[in-house]
């Protein structure tokens, strides 16, 4: 019976359906392609006291031990002063930001805009504004939030970061860029460097300065260290931020001291300004800050002008700068350099960036050099007249050029008498602006830390057949196989029944 045509056809179709189902399933599983989920982007705004800088970072969406391998792809300096200067007019913030944000939109693929996180971190300028006028600081942050909610990106908030956070993020950036957390091995995979020491970080901003490093014995200084976890490893980092010891605020304190010590209130000699340089500043320019509030004279008039005359005297400049540091508060304790602040002994190599780098560059120095070389360059620079400086500096801007002598003396005093670097340890300081195309700034460390909170995306799988087509074929072929099987069962049953029907014998009885 099974040799008849319908049975043969059914068997052929059943066999073909089973073979095709198995073949399609095997091909779909074995020929799938695993694709990288591509790149993720993050935007960090470094809202410093003197200006705001926008950084765009990118990293592979599948991460290394929960921390993205981040690189800087774009940097834009927002025109105008830092956001803390908008305390009285927070609504005016939007226009300066627009220019940089429009450039950022062009750098990041449009389809990724809504998934790109934006973070704004404000530093010492806003910390001072919050102490001076909390409602004004809140209005500035509210204005920032209002601006970014109208942007196509995913705004994750504007916050004022603490001094220790700023210090640690700068330390993370420096060590990340120097390859002290990750390196590629012979097989081009990322691994933790074997026995590689981390570097300390020295950051000089406009309103504060930070020192961060891992002490010789971190266990002894647990109360003054912060624990950082990156790429599966823990680090105990000593960090301290000195408010009012940023370059701009320190100079305001110097001007206030010079006025305090001057016999004439309208005309004051400044040994840190170049010879023959003259400028008129209002009292508000230097007494308007919280850092100089305690130095204000009884007859303080914000709009009153004070004429400063540069005398270009390096020795007297250094003497005046020394008054900015309280060296007696520590009472000769070895672990307390100045202002009564505990600090372990400096250890290993350091990278000095931001304001440190720009001042060293103005002195025509770079990288590593001896303390003697620094002192001779500083002395030579501070002895120049205003006219001579204009031809010496490759990029001349009055507001910076007039203050480089002060900055150099301030850096000397901060590093030698403040942090206790000596002639032997000074060459361990690397004065650097960037590594490769990435700026050394706290913002990259901030982004690296934040990627620990952004979930890693799974790898995408590309299949030979679309899931809908694959499912449709499976259903069709399975249904065909079942129908063929049922038909064969039916044929078998019918055949069996016919075999069991009793035969009737016809007996013919002759008449």
Catalytic positions, written as ranges: 166
DSSP character string of 52-63: EEEEEEEEESS-
The answer to whether 479 is annotated as binding is no
How many C-alpha atoms does 39 have within 13 Å on its Cβ side? 16
Q: How many CB atoms lie within 10 A of CB 439?
A: 19
Return the structure tokens found at 159. 């916050």
The answer to whether 209 is annotated as binding is yes
Closest CA to 86 of 124, 125, 53: 125
Nearby residues of 72 by Cβ (< 8 Å), 6 or more positions away: 55, 56, 57, 437, 438, 439, 444
Instruction: Please state, in angstroms and rounded to a whole number, the distance separating the CA atoms of residues 351 and 177.
Output: 11
The answer to whether 206 is annotated as binding is yes
Cα 406 → chain centroid: 30
Burial string for 94-113 (b: 16+ CB within 10 Å, else e) reads eebbeebbeebeeebeeeee
Closest CA to 345 of 241, 238, 438: 238
DSSP 8-state symbol, 243: E
Phi, psi of 17 (to 5 degrees): -60, -45
Instruction: Judge whether 427 and 370 are in contact, CB under 8 Å.
Output: yes
Q: Provide the 3-class DSSP secondary structure of residue 32.
A: coil
The answer to whether 260 is annotated as binding is no
Return the structure tokens found at 489. 């069962």
- Strand 33-35 and strand 460-462: pairing? antiparallel
Burial string for 210-240 (b: 16+ CB within 10 Å, else e) reads bbbbbbeebeebeebbeebebbeeebebbbb
Annotated binding residues for ATP: 206-210
Annotated binding residues: 206-210
């Amino acid at each position: 019976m099974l040799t008849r045509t319908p049975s043969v056809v059914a068997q052929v179709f059943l066999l073909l359906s089973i073979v095709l189902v198995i073949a399609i399933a095997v091909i779909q599983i074995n020929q799938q392609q695993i694709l990288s989920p591509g790149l993720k982007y993050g935007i960090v705004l470094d809202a410093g006291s003197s200006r705001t800088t926008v950084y765009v970072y990118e990293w592979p969406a599948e991460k290394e031990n929960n921390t993205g391998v981040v690189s800087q792809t774009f940097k834009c300096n927002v025109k105008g002063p830092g956001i803390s200067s908008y305390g009285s007019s927070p609504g005016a913030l939007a226009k300066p930001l627009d220019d940089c944000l429009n450039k950022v939109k062009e750098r990041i693929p449009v389809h990724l805009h809504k998934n790109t996180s934006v973070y704004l971190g404000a530093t010492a300028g806003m910390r001072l504004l919050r102490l001076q006028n909390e409602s004004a600081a809140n209005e500035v942050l509210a204005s920032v939030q209002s601006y970014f909610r109208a942007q196509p990106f995913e705004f994750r908030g504007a916050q004022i970061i603490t001094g220790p956070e700023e210090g640690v993020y700068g330390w993370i950036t420096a060590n990340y860029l120097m390859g002290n957390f990750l390196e590629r091995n012979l097989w081009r995979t990322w691994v933790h460097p074997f026995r590689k020491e981390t570097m300390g970080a020295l950051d000089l901003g406009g309103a504060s300065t930070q020192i961060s490093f891992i002490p010789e014995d971190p266990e002894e200084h647990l109360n003054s260290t912060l624990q950082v976890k990156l790429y599966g490893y823990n680090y105990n980092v000593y960090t301290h931020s000195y408010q009012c010891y940023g370059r701009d605020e320190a100079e305001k304190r110097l001007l206030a001291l010079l006025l305090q010590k001057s016999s004439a209130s309208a005309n004051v000699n400044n040994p840190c300004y170049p010879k023959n340089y003259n400028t008129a500043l209002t009292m508000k320019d230097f007494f308007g800050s919280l850092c100089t509030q305690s130095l204000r004279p009884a007859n303080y008039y914000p709009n009153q002008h004070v004429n400063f005359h540069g005398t270009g005297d390096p020795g007297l400049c250094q003497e005046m700068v020394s008054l900015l540091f309280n060296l007696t508060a520590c009472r000769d304790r070895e672990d307390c350099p100045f202002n009564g602040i505990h600090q372990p002994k400096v250890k290993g190599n350091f990278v000095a960036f931001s304001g440190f780098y720009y001042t060293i560059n103005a002195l025509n120095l770079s990288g590593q050099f001896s303390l003697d070389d620094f002192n001779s360059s500083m002395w030579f620079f501070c002895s120049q007249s205003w006219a001579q400086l204009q031809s010496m500096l490759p990029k001349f801007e009055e507001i910076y050029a007039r203050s480089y002598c002060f900055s150099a003396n301030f850096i000397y005093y901060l590093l030698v008498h403040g942090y206790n670097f000596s002639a032997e340890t000074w060459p361990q300081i690397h004065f650097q602006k960037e590594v490769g195309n990435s700026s050394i700034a706290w913002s990259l460390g901030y982004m690296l830390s934040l990627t620990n909170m952004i979930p890693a995306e799974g790898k995408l799988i590309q299949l030979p057949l679309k899931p809908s087509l694959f499912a449709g074929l499976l259903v069709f072929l399975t249904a065909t196989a079942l129908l063929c099987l049922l038909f064969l069962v039916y044929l078998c049953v019918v055949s069996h029944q016919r075999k069991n029907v009793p035969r009737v014998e016809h007996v013919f009885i002759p008449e």
